[in-house]
Amino acid sequence: MRISLVLVLASVLACLVSAEERFPAPKVSVTGLLVRVSWRGESRWILQRADSEGLRNLGDRAFHDVNQAWVRPVDAGYEYTERADEGVLFRLVDYGSILPEGRPANILVLHGKGMFAGWMERSPLCEELEDALGDRARFFYAQAPHSNPFLNIVGREWWNCLSADYGDLEESVDYVIDYANNRIPGDVDLVIGYSQGGALASYLFNLLDSERDLGSLAKVRKAIFINSAAIEDLTPQYDREGLENIPDIYSASNINTLHLIADSDAIVRPRWSERLAQSYHKSLTITYDGDHFMAAGGMNPLLLFDFFPEAVKQRIEQWVREN
C-alpha cells in the first residue's frame, strides 16, 4: 500500500505536469525499498520532489530539486534513486538559460562591503556587461541596508564583519528577498556578487531547499562570484549552530557558478575564493592578475578606473551567453 502510493502519486503528477507545461514525464518504478525515477532527454531537465502534505500546505513551493549528485546518466537519459517514502511526488522542470527567449534576463547585483549600489552600477565591469548584453538583460543593483561610519560616509555593508551579531545578516537576507520580489519583474536569472555581496549570495542559495518563500529568487540557479568567499572564511566568528555558512549539499549540487579570482587579493585571499569555487560541483574559475578591487577612483562612481583585464570581461560575457 505504501509503495503503491508512491508510484501512483508520482506517475499521476508527472502526467499532469507534462500535459500542462509540456515537460517530459519521468518514469517511476519501485524495487524493494527503493523508488527509481528515470527520464530521457537533455541534462537541462531538473528532477524535483515534494511530499503530498507539503503540496497541500505550500502548493508549488513544496517542490525542490533533488540532489544532483544522486542523478546519474544512463542510456539516452538519466536516473535518480532514493528510499521509497509515502506520498512522494516527482516532476521535471527546466530552469532555462540565463538569457531566456521572449523576455530580458533579470540580473541581481550585490555590491561589496563599504560600497553602494550606484558605485557598483557605474563600475566598468558592470557597465560593459550591460552594454554587451543590451536589451537581452536588465540589471538590478540592490543596496545593503546597513551603514558603518568607520568605513566611510556613504558606504554600506551587508553585515558587520567585526561582530557576531547575526541580526544584521538576517536583516540583509530579508531585504534582498523583499527587493527581488518588489523591484524585479519576474524570476531572477543570475546573481552577481562582489566580495561580501558574493558571500551573501552563497548564503542565500542555501535557503533554496528550505521551506522559506524566496519569491523571485526561488528559481535562480546561476551565479557569478567576484573575489568572494563563503561566510566561514570571510567572517569565521559567525559559527552559530545551524547557520549554513558554507554551501550546503543542495546548493553545491544545483548552482552553476563562475568565480573570478584576483591572484594578489590581500582582502579576500585567493585560497578562500578557490575553496568556495570547489564547493560548487558545476563551477568555472578564472584567475587573473590583479588585487581585490574592481576599479580605482574612491567612492565617486564617476571617477572609476578599470582594473579588469579585457580578456576576463569577454570571458564573463561568453559564460553568460552559454549558460
- CATH of residue 261's domain is 3.40.50.1820
**What does each C-alpha distance from 100 to 79, 94, 104, 188 come to in angstroms?**
27, 11, 7, 11
What pLDDT sits at residue 233? 78
Residue 189 included in any domain: yes
Query: Residue 22's domain is classified under what CATH number?
Result: 2.60.40
pLDDT of residue 24: 72
User: Per residue in 134-165, pLDDT tens?
Assistant: 999 999 999 999 987 666 667 899 988 776 66
Residues 256, 267: Cα–Cα separation, whole Å: 25
Domain encompassing residue 129: 105-322
pLDDT band at 4 (very low <50, low <70, confident <90, very high): very low
| Residue 298 belongs to some domain of the structure | yes
pLDDT per residue over 78-113, tens digit each? Answer: 999 998 877 888 988 888 899 999 999 999 999 998
Are 125 and 37 contained in the same domain? no
Cα separation, 146 vs 113, in Å, equals 10
- Same domain membership, residue 300 and residue 160: yes
pLDDT at 1: 27
Question: At residue 185, what is the residue type?
Answer: P
Rounded to an integer, what distance in angstroms lies between the CA atom of residue 132 and that of residue 319?
A: 13
In the listed set 48, 69, 94, which residue is the last one of a domain according to the structure? 94
For residue 150, what pLDDT is reported? 67
Rounded Cα distance between 224 and 315, Å, is 12
Is 191 a domain residue?
Answer: yes
What secondary structure, in 3-state letters, does 286-320 show?
A: EEECCCCCCEECCCCHHHCEECCCHHHHHHHHHHH
Q: Nearest-CA neighbor of 132 among 107, 162, 149? A: 107
- Given a cut of 70, whether residue 246 has pLDDT beyond it is yes
Task: Show which of 94, 129, 155 is a domain's final residue.
Answer: 94
**DSSP code for 200:** H
Domain boundary among 62, 94, 126: 94
Examine residue 131 and state whether it is found in any structural domain, yes or no: yes
How many helices (H) does the chain have, and how many strands (E)? 10, 17
Residues 191, 48 share a domain: no
Do 79 and 163 reside in the same domain of the chain? no
Q: Is residue 172 part of a domain?
A: yes
pLDDT of 13 higher than 90 = no
* 199 and 307 belong to one structural domain: yes
Which position has the higher pLDDT, 76 or 18? 76
Strand-pair category, 282-288 with 105-110: unpaired
Angle between helices 310-322 and 124-133 (to 10 degrees): 40
pLDDT value of position 11: 42
Mean pLDDT over all residues of the chain? 83
Q: What is the DSSP string of 22-80?
A: -PPPPEEEEETTEEEEEEES-TTEEEEEEEHHHHHHHGGGG-EEPPGGGEEEETTEEEE
Flag whether 99 is in a domain: no
Q: Is residue 100 part of a domain?
A: no
Q: Which three cell numbers stand for residue 100?
A: 531566456
Do 69 and 112 lie in one domain? The reply is: no
Say yes or no: 46 and 165 in one domain: no
Residue of higher predicted confidence among 24 and 313 = 313
Dihedral of CA 267/272/274/278: which sign?
A: negative
Same domain (yes/no): 109, 223: yes
Whether residues 53 and 82 fall in one domain = yes
150 and 84, same structural domain?
no
Tally the domains of the chain. 2
Give yes or no: residues 28 and 147 share one domain: no
Q: Is the same domain home to 86 and 195?
A: no
Cα–Cα nearest to 46, from 28, 64, 20: 64
Decide if 305 is inside a domain: yes
pTM: 0.81
